[in-house]
Structure 1
Amino acid sequence: MSRSFLLLFVVCWAALGGVVAARAGVTLEGDTCRQVFDNPRAEHIACRTGFRLDEATRARLESSSFGLLSDLSCAADLTASRSDVLGRVHAGGDVALPQQEVRCRLSAGGDPVNVRFHLAPVVRVDRKTRRAVDARLGVRDLTGIPEPLATAVAEFLNNEPTLRKSLVAAANEILPNLPGR
C-alpha cells in the first residue's frame, strides 16, 4: 500500500514507479513520496514527485504540437488526506482524486518554457470486481504558453493513450493491496 496513493494520485505522471513507469513513457525524477507512503499511519500526505518523458513519448508530443514542442518534464507537490482518498476508492465508480498543481518545463525550439497546470485524475473503479476500467488525467488551466499551444499540450496529456492505460494498470496493481473499509 505504500505507493498506492502516489500512483493513483500522480498517475498523469503516468503511473509512477517500477515497471509501470516504463510502460507509461516517463521516468520518475526527484520523488520524495515513497517515504510518506511507507508510513501507513501518516494521515496527511505531503511530498514531491516529478517525471521526464521517454524518447517515444517526446516524439509523440513533438508530432502532436506540430514540431513546436520537443520535451516536457514536470514536478508536483502533492497534498491529500489518506482517509479521504481511501474513502473515494472504497466507494467505487468514478474516483476523483484531489486537484494538484503541476509545474513543468517544456522545450520549445530548444528553449525552456515554464508552464503550470492543474491535474485532477479520475479513475473509474468497477464496484463488483473492484478493478480500474478507465481513467482520465484531468489536465486543465494550463498557463505559461499562448493559445492554441496550451490547449494542444493539455489535449496531448489528457488523450495520450499510453498514459491513460498506464493509469488503469497502476490502479489495478494497487487496488488489491488497499486496506478494507
Structure 2
Amino acid sequence: MEKLNQEYLAARFAAVSLHLALTVNVLQARPDHILAALSGSCVQQALRMPAACRQGNCVILDELSAGCRDSWQASESIFYRELSASIAFLVVELVSMLTAVHCSQQEALNFFGAMLHLGGSLVLVLFLVMQASYAYFHAVFAVCYVLPFLGELNTWLAIVRGAYVKRFPPPETSS
C-alpha cells in the first residue's frame, strides 16, 4: 500500500504542477474571459478600445460607458482575486508535498487530489481554447482548487493535533 501511495503522491505532484502552469496561462488571458462575460453592447464598446487597454495597460477606459466600465472593473477584480487565490492554493500544495510529510491513510487524499487536479487541468484547457466566460471559473475554483487545498489543510491540522506522521524515504537508486 505504501508503494501505491507514493505513486498517487507522484501523480498528484505532476497534476498540481500542470494545473499551476495552466492557471498562470488563464491569468495572462483573463481579459478575453472577462470580455466573454460582458453584455453584447459592452462587448462592442470594449472591442473598439485598443488591445492594450483590454489587456489592462490603459489608464483611461473612456471608450466604455459608465455601466460597462463598472461591469468590466468588477468582473476583473473578482476574476483576478480568484486566480490569485488559486495560484496560492496550488503553490501551498506543491510546497506541502515537497516536505514529504504525510499522515497515515493519506492514499485517498493523494488519489482524489490527483484526479481533481487532472480534471481541473482538462477544464482549464477547454476554458482557454473556447475563451469561455470567467463566470464558469467559479465552479472550477470551488471543485478543483478549494477541495484539494482543504484536504491538504486537513492533513496539516491532523499533524498539528498529533496524528501519526510518516516520511517517505528517498527513492531507491539502481546501480
Q: Same fold (TM over 0.5)?
A: no
Q: TM-score range by the shorter chain?
A: under 0.3
Structure with more of its chain in strand, by fraction? 1
- Per residue, is there more helix in 1 or in 2? 2
